Structure 1
């Protein structure tokens, strides 16, 4: 494969979806860059992510038919990245995907040349964002923060984008990184 895979991850509440949306808008129509959709076993209108909603049965059928390049389970949901990314990478394109920090070692095994990017925010900001969105109880937020601490300790060799200030500034940092990768492939 001659393209680059940019694997964007970070804790829930870090602003990954907002930054990926910003980058997609800024790079719309770029001939050498593709944004992969995630296939998720949750409703299409749940969360802020542009994703393809699948029932658990649909997800299992696609997984059993090897239609996912990558797939994993997290927080009671199934996530997949379509096998079409392999075709895009073979064509020399830069592919941007929303990944899981916990699944990064398996993704690196399959795509050893991937560019791991972590969207990072201080714990106090993360706590505030998680509580403000109102999807989890305070106990569930505390569990997410604990999981985040454990995953932060295990991360290495990552491009870090801080997203605790101006969204456009962090978004532009992501766009710049994607463009640099596209120039190298």
Structure 2
């Protein structure tokens, strides 16, 4: 049995990663592809992402026990991808994860078959979405926009543009993760 492929979805805040991933889940993840959830030190009802909410103490306890395959911190929160992902990959499943650009190098070290997926949108679209979301001040939004190109992306990235219709971006991601694509 061949090991599975890790589709590592990333992109700056406001590009609609959570929305695109939710659309993919609702419209039929291909057979053989599993969607991993993230563990986040954010209340369960906050944000649009289906995640496992943990207190900081519980997150750090799990981290100290080696229960995460990947962890990172961003914007005052801690994020983790559970070790279950490694078990799924070994058993031949392809896995779709919502990652972070800051943790991508570590994902490449830990998982030999990583396919980077970059979800992107124009600066104006991102600024509008962040303003509507209402979590950041105008200055914080401007700082996020200034960092849009701070992380170089691998040349072999699957790029999903999410400026228009969510169904178009979701369909593009579905097509990219279909077995046989990679």
Q: CA deviation at 1:132?
A: 1.6
**Following superposition of structure 1 onto structure 2, how do residues 53-92 of structure 1 map, counting pairs within 5 Å?**
53-92=53-92
Report the equivalent of 2:153. 155
Does the alignment pair 1:3 with 2:4? Answer: yes
Q: CA deviation at 1:149?
A: 2.8
**Following superposition of structure 1 onto structure 2, how do residues 140-151 of structure 1 map, counting pairs within 5 Å?**
140-151=140-151
Report the equivalent of 2:26. 25
Q: CA deviation at 1:183?
A: 3.0
Q: CA deviation at 1:70?
A: 0.8
* Helix, strand or coil at the partner of 1:150: coil
For the Cα contact (< 8 Å) 1:27–1:33, is it kept in 2?
A: no
Alpha-carbon distance between aligned partners in 2 of 1:138 and 1:178, rounded to the nearest angstrom: 36
* Helix, strand or coil at the partner of 1:21: helix
**Following superposition of structure 1 onto structure 2, how do residues 30-179 of structure 1 map, counting pairs within 5 Å?**
30-151=30-151, 154-157=152-155, 158-179=157-178
Residues 31-69 of structure 1 show CA distances to partners (whole Å, capped at 9, x for unaligned) of 411100000001001110000000000001111111111
Report the equivalent of 1:12. 13
Residues 137 and 184 (structure 1 numbering): CA distance in 2 closer, same or farther, change over 3 Å? closer
* Helix, strand or coil at the partner of 1:183: coil
Alpha-carbon distance between aligned partners in 1 of 2:106 and 2:69, rounded to the nearest angstrom: 11
Moved over 4 A (4+): none
Alpha-carbon distance between aligned partners in 2 of 1:171 and 1:141, rounded to the nearest angstrom: 25
Q: Structure 1: 5+ residue runs without aligned partners?
A: none
The two structures, once aligned, show a CA RMSD in angstroms of 1.4
TM-score for the superposition, normalised by structure 1 = 0.92
TM-score for the superposition, normalised by structure 2 = 0.94
For the Cα contact (< 8 Å) 2:70–2:103, is it kept in 1?
A: no
